[in-house]
Amino acid sequence: MTQIDNRSSERPAPPISDGPRLRFAPSPTGFMHIGVFRTALFSWLYARHTGGKFILRIEDTDTTRSVEGALENLLEGLEWLGMDVDEGPVIGGPYGPYFQLQRKALYLHYADQLLKSGHAYRCYCTRERLDRVRQDQQAQKLPPRYDRHCRYLSAEERAANDAAGLPFTVRFAMPLDGETAVPDPLHGDMVFKNSDLDDMIILKSNGLPPYHLAHLVDDHLMGITHVLRGEDWIPSAPLHVQIYKALGWEPPLLYHVPNVLEKSKKKLSKRRGAPSWSDYAQQGYLPEAVFNFLALLGWSYDDKTEIFTKEELIKAFSLDRVGVASGIYDPEKLLWMNGLYIRKLSLDELTQRTLPYLERPEAEGGLPDSVQRPLDVEYTKRVLTLEQERLKTLGEAAERVSFFFLKDLTYETSLLIQKGMDAPRTHEALVQARDLLNSLSAWQHDAMEQPVRDLAAQMGLKAGQMLGSLRAAVSGSPATPPLFAMMEVLGREVCMQRITEAIARLAP
């Protein structure tokens, strides 16, 4: 990681000619669900639409809750979705470091500035005292907030506490009267009574800042012009506006974008099983389909257009089309959209992108371990030609096509016997079909279908009865691609062997 540059307590803001500067500033306290990436995507799209910059900053000051591997997972997720970064912890940039722990000196500098200007104060209250205050407020049905005890300590009392070495936090001294207006292009000006607001902690006892101070200092010093964040942050927005004012800085444009909700209208949450990008990747969703799907969670171009390439989204995206109504995460719609994207792939691309899912271990959803790897690419391509229209994820391909690769099939003999048939009649139908098929000079679907249908009619069978028994015999499954196209791909030798084995199963 880059070391902190202590040569200056403040860096100049980037030149205006850089255009809009937007950031994604996650905390590595867990593996983020896909809704978090949605909000980052809005920032990325606007930066790309305007020719601006997209900055990644890691808010890692909550050291007690940091999760090993969370940062790597985040970076891989951005790469998987195709969201490139202009400045950040890997690529670097002129306004780093891009890890907050390496910027501690900056936060201490501005916390001290707020203390000296009287806009903040040291709070020596113990956890026990704060708990008692909270309990008393609950008993009186009062809103929970700090009672400002330390705000009114005398200079002598503060000096005594400092001389005794008492631990302290730093709280921002919110104005006690009047109102704070929070401009927001999505919601309009939101006005808050200052008397309803709390004196929040801006520096913890360990010398590290919570979000309220750290993000604000970083946004200013990194020249962030637009902040897109979830509407959960609206209650904290007046505090942030007041801190900007106390430091004499102009706030960036604040956009509180709508949350992503489950279909039950509850907020999308990892605790309730919200998927991550890696869940999608493992299941075989295409990143371009997920990208398209996420862009529509709270943003729309019109009331009918839903399918966009990345380039089309960049061209069309604007912040005035972001709504205030929450986006609804609909997994069925994503599945439909992913199937649509799969059908748009060229056969070569479909094959190359599906092979890793087919070749992974059986325990991870791949083909049975008895199937030799690597797979024959040309044969796999012929197989996938038959399945492309039915696939909704690449991950389901192995189950659908396994019978194309297996040497021996496993299925219940009853699967061979169709409705209105019995074992002897099915046995005779398969014997007749085998002999007919074996006599054909060309093993092509259009050369097989009509003769087999004619045979069924001669035997007094419905076409579906004959075809259903053949389907089960050659695939071991009742649901497959078109029968004769499937048999063409399997080849004469495999089909004859499997029909013969089916006949043996039914032998009296």
Q: What are 352's two structure tokens?
A: 């190359």
30 exposure class (CB count in 10 Å sphere: 0-12, 13-18, 19+): middle
Question: 222 by DSSP, 3-state: which?
Answer: coil
From 270, 310, 344, 381, the catalytic residue: 270
Q: Are 93 and 87 in contact (CB under 8 A)?
A: yes
Supply the Cα-derived Rg of the chain in whole angstroms: 32
Report the amino acid identity of residue 295: A
| Residue 60 to residues 1, 56, 211, Cα–Cα distance (Å) | 13, 12, 10
Compute the distance between CA of residue 508 and CA of residue 504 in angstroms, rounded to an integer. Answer: 9
- Contact (CB, 8 A) for 32 and 24: no
Angle between helices 423-439 and 445-458 (to 10 degrees): 140
Q: Is 270 tagged catalytic?
A: yes
Distance CA(275)–CA(350), nearest Å, equals 24
DSSP 251: P
The pair of structure tokens assigned to 403 is: 């019978």
Strand, helix or coil for residue 43: helix
User: Is omega for the bond preceding 185 within 30 degrees of 0, making it cis?
Assistant: no
DSSP state of 170: E
Cα separations (Å) of 298 from 258, 318, 319? 6, 12, 11
What are 21's strand-pairing partners? 53
Catalytic positions: 270
